[in-house]
Structure 1
Amino acid sequence: MYQTQKYAGEIIAAVLDGQTLTDAFNRVWKLEPNLRPQQRGAIQDLGYGTLRHLGLLQRVLESLLNKPMREPELRALLLVSLYQLHFTRAAPYTIVDHAVKVAAHTGAGKGKGLVNAILRNFMRQRNELVGAAERTPLGRWSHPVWWISALQKAYPQQWEAILAAGNQHPPMTLRVNRRRGTLGDYQARLQDAGIAARALDDDSALLLKQPVGVDMLPGFFDGDASVQDWGAQRAAQLLDVRDGMRVLDACAAPGGKTGHILELADVDLTAVDFDAQRLSRVADNLKRLNLTATLKTGDAGSPTGWWDGKLFDRILADVPCSATGVARRHPDIKWLRRPEDFASFARQQAEMLDALWPLVAPGGKLLYATCSIFPAENSEQAAAFAARHADAERLPLNLPGDGQLLPSPEHDGFFYALFSKRPV
């Protein structure tokens, strides 16, 4: 447990200093290549869990301190240890003992007495401290206060459910490859493998009762199924592709939606992403699915660098966004985002939409997609785009809430707006 706490503390300190959780994990894996898979898994559990409940842990820690703690490494170690004491079944005295040992090797080693005292005080006053913390918005919801306020304004009837869903463990959903079998057939194969799942629709989505490793999924490496959130699966379905169409998947990485489009129809698909390394993940996904597309490294907001001049029948514009709809999968997002980020994302999204629209053939369609839950990136962005382009007709979708899917036990948060180009 000593190494687990040590590296988890370093990871939390890095995130609180502005690093993404993925980058923080990768740094530790690179520095410590000999960590066993079980150790990596335990470190990941502590990293995700601490960030998922960070607001509560911060409020508890503040109440245990006589003055603000200036040492970020010790603060992070305490947050991880408080998470272990309150949310895990690990032996309390082992948690404290190992935390003190980590503190002895942190900085000048002067914090071990403080760490010992704080954690033992928490053990004695746990119910009172947690109860007091939960009476504050930050402690109750473990989201930044500005985030809570923004949701209250945008969704006065639903904000509590959205926040509650944002703190849940994310569901694991499969997309059945219709080229290789039916949903019912694959569900039966899962049952034979001892994996419980229920259908979310009549098309391709299966929600697993418990997450499992992909190596346990029947035929996964043969392309029989993919892991993809039900909300994300809506993209290819809404795009309404048909055989022979010319299709663009802008901002394609990591390729989940790319693969789904190709599973639904025989199309001439171009997948673009600005990051060559991420684009290689699209190639890997398509290889597993035995599907092909033209992959191009480039900026979707600047088509002149990669476009061949031929118009597209369908464009999926899955644009960069705040990712606030998938925060339960990436809990660092809650603590890295700032209110001013949304104006920047909105400008980038508008520029990308305006750059891609001329590439749509008359009578063709563009699907605007985000994994955000905030109107500035979603309904407001869609309305502004329609106002700027007289030839853009927004089409109705068989989705609730103006195309806004809010986080729920069955799917993450996504937004979709479908536009048809009126013939000139």
Structure 2
Amino acid sequence: MATSSPSKKKKKDAEKTSVARAVSLKALKLVFNGQSLSAVQIHTTDKLEDARDRGLANEIVNGVLRWRWQLEFFISQLLKKPLKPKDIDVQLVLLMALYELNECRTPDYAVINESVELVRRAGKKWAAGLVNAVLRSFTRDKKTLLAAINDGVVRYSHPPWLLEKIKADWPQHWQKILAANNQRPVFCLRVNELRHSALQYQKLLLDNDIESNVIAIAEQALKLASGIDVRLLPGFADGAVSVQDAGAQLVAELLNVSKGDRVLDLCAAPGGKTCHLLEHYPEIDGLLAVEFNEKRMQRVQENLQRLQLESRAKLIVADARDTKQWWDGDKFDRILIDAPCSASGVIRRHPDIKTLRRASDIAPLVTLQSEILSAAWQMLKPGGEMLYVTCSIFKDENQNQMKSFLASSDATEIIIDADWGEACEYGRQLFPGEQDADGFYYCRLKKAI
């Protein structure tokens, strides 16, 4: 039987790797053009059939978005003059290659050769020599370039406005937060407690040669030693387990639902917290989930169906603020507001936030949150409780928002006494990376009787 020669095999492997880099370039162009990485991945990196290709493409894309400002500094030092905006392909290829050369184990010659080929394929043959020269200079002068970094924006690879805002809000924690934002996120599971305890499912994982560890702050949370295709998780398709950060898993317990309570979940998509509430409180007497975006509400529906919880929840696509259009007037015992926010607490999981978020976004978000709070408060029963949650670390969206709301309503704060996070003037802040969780803010409120 004829077999492939070693040279043919090497050529085939190189072609496969080139596919991964070509897809990485396509994905990055879309993100730099304003699209979110989660939306882009569906049509780019997720389409790659080979797991190794997907792994490499996601590593490059996330790495470039995570370390963009440091990589751009290297380019500025290595080029005599900046590239023109129309040459974004060349800029992105350089960013991709510099990330690999600085952070990955790929042989230098392979990165350089494929980068040269990539700009040729992109129709920029004139740039082949330039890319080759820049990358070879970097491999030669890497130590000198790294030693030349003396600016916080470059060192921590955050846009100036974001670095300064984090520094101003958290003068005692800003360096730790910035460092956490540049770490790879933990792959965390939420075990469906209607099926298994965390320890029972951990044993099931081990039986399938999947290593995991308990995360102390959340009862049903398990951290995997490495990422995995969720379809390979035991019982995933049948609802035994979901992927959810440990910080998000704190919400169910904090909402403090009692038997017979009517529960409202506002801004519910993608449904992780909705499903966890139904798992954690099997006695919930009807949960209403409201989400403005119809496509995102489909995610809620899919999650409920996989977990076999759809019969216990009613879904409404509507603006949470426009209660006349969807609320029947029957008040709720418990309300969860998973508020739209800057997502500044989940940057390690969504590094495109550094590129896409703007300082000017924050004030409109604060206004939106305030309007949702006011609308929700009218639907809460006297003596009822509300949990306000964001995945933000910005005080304007969190404790300052709560300060304003408490001053203008009949709400009182229920203090969260916990061994995680930091007590704020109002509410409690969990920082990114703390106890293997993302950054979240929580504040419990009680309505006067």
Aligned residue in 2 for 1:395: 414
Q: How far has the Cα of 1:29 moved from its partner?
A: 6.2
Judging changes above 3 Å, is the alpha-carbon distance between structure 1 residues 238 and 46 closer, same or farther for their aligned structure 2 residues? same
Aligned residue in 2 for 1:157: 172
C-alpha separation between the residues in 2 aligned to 1:69 and 1:222? Answer: 51
Which residue of the other structure, out of 341, 347, 358, is the alignment partner of 1:338?
A: 358
Aligned residue in 1 for 2:438: 412
Whether contact under 8 Å (1:176, 1:183) holds in the other structure is yes
2:313 is aligned with 1:291: no
- Secondary structure in structure 1 of the residue aligned to 2:148: helix
CA distances 1:242-276 after superposition (whole Å, capped 9, x unpaired): 22111011111111100111012221101111112
Letter in 2 for 1:216: L
Aligned residues with identical type, % of pairs:
41
Whether contact under 8 Å (2:27, 2:45) holds in the other structure is no
Aligned residue in 1 for 2:221: 205
Which residue of the other structure, out of 35, 58, 77, is the alignment partner of 1:63?
A: 77
CA distances 1:20-62 after superposition (whole Å, capped 9, x unpaired): 22233344469xx675454333222210111111121111111
Which residue of the other structure, out of 332, 337, 342, is the alignment partner of 1:312?
A: 332
C-alpha RMSD over aligned residues: 1.8
C-alpha separation between the residues in 2 aligned to 1:175 and 1:182? Answer: 10
Q: How far has the Cα of 1:107 moved from its partner?
A: 4.1
Letter in 2 for 1:218: P
C-alpha separation between the residues in 2 aligned to 1:335 and 1:11? Answer: 14
Which residue of the other structure, out of 337, 359, 367, is the alignment partner of 2:387?
A: 367
C-alpha separation between the residues in 2 aligned to 1:23 and 1:285? Answer: 18
Mean Cα deviation higher: 6-15 or 231-240: 6-15
Whether contact under 8 Å (1:56, 1:130) holds in the other structure is no
Mean Cα deviation higher: 213-222 or 230-239: 213-222
Letter in 2 for 1:407: P
Which residue of the other structure, out of 178, 185, 189, is the alignment partner of 2:193?
A: 178
C-alpha separation between the residues in 2 aligned to 1:179 and 1:313? Answer: 23
Whether contact under 8 Å (2:48, 2:54) holds in the other structure is no
2:108 is aligned with 1:92: yes
Which residue of the other structure, out of 273, 278, 292, is the alignment partner of 2:296?
A: 278
2:140 is aligned with 1:124: yes
C-alpha separation between the residues in 1 aligned to 2:423 and 2:37? Answer: 31
2:407 is aligned with 1:382: no
TM-score, normalised to structure 2, is: 0.89
> Which residues of structure 1 form unaligned runs of 5+?
none
Mean Cα deviation higher: 64-73 or 196-205: 196-205
C-alpha separation between the residues in 1 aligned to 2:356 and 2:113? Answer: 31
Letter in 2 for 1:333: I
C-alpha separation between the residues in 2 aligned to 1:217 and 1:28? Answer: 24
Q: How far has the Cα of 1:283 moved from its partner?
A: 1.2
> Which residues of structure 2 form unaligned runs of 5+?
1-16
Letter in 2 for 1:419: L
2:181 is aligned with 1:166: yes
- Secondary structure in structure 1 of the residue aligned to 2:247: helix
Q: Aligned pairs, how many?
A: 419
Judging changes above 3 Å, is the alpha-carbon distance between structure 1 residues 258 and 343 closer, same or farther for their aligned structure 2 residues? same
Q: How far has the Cα of 1:118 moved from its partner?
A: 0.6
Whether contact under 8 Å (2:90, 2:124) holds in the other structure is no
Aligned residue in 2 for 1:49: 63
Q: How far has the Cα of 1:361 moved from its partner?
A: 0.7
Q: How far has the Cα of 1:98 moved from its partner?
A: 1.4
TM-score, normalised to structure 1, is: 0.94
Aligned residue in 2 for 1:358: 378
Letter in 2 for 1:185: Q
Whether contact under 8 Å (2:69, 2:153) holds in the other structure is yes
- Secondary structure in structure 2 of the residue aligned to 1:324: coil
Letter in 2 for 1:396: I
C-alpha separation between the residues in 1 aligned to 2:417 and 2:247? Answer: 13
Aligned residue in 2 for 1:105: 121
C-alpha separation between the residues in 2 aligned to 1:213 and 1:241? Answer: 33
Aligned residue in 1 for 2:287: 269
Judging changes above 3 Å, is the alpha-carbon distance between structure 1 residues 60 and 349 closer, same or farther for their aligned structure 2 residues? same
Letter in 2 for 1:398: D
- Secondary structure in structure 2 of the residue aligned to 1:100: helix
Q: How far has the Cα of 1:209 moved from its partner?
A: 2.5
Whether contact under 8 Å (2:24, 2:45) holds in the other structure is no
Q: How far has the Cα of 1:323 moved from its partner?
A: 0.4
2:229 is aligned with 1:216: no
Q: How far has the Cα of 1:401 moved from its partner?
A: 2.3
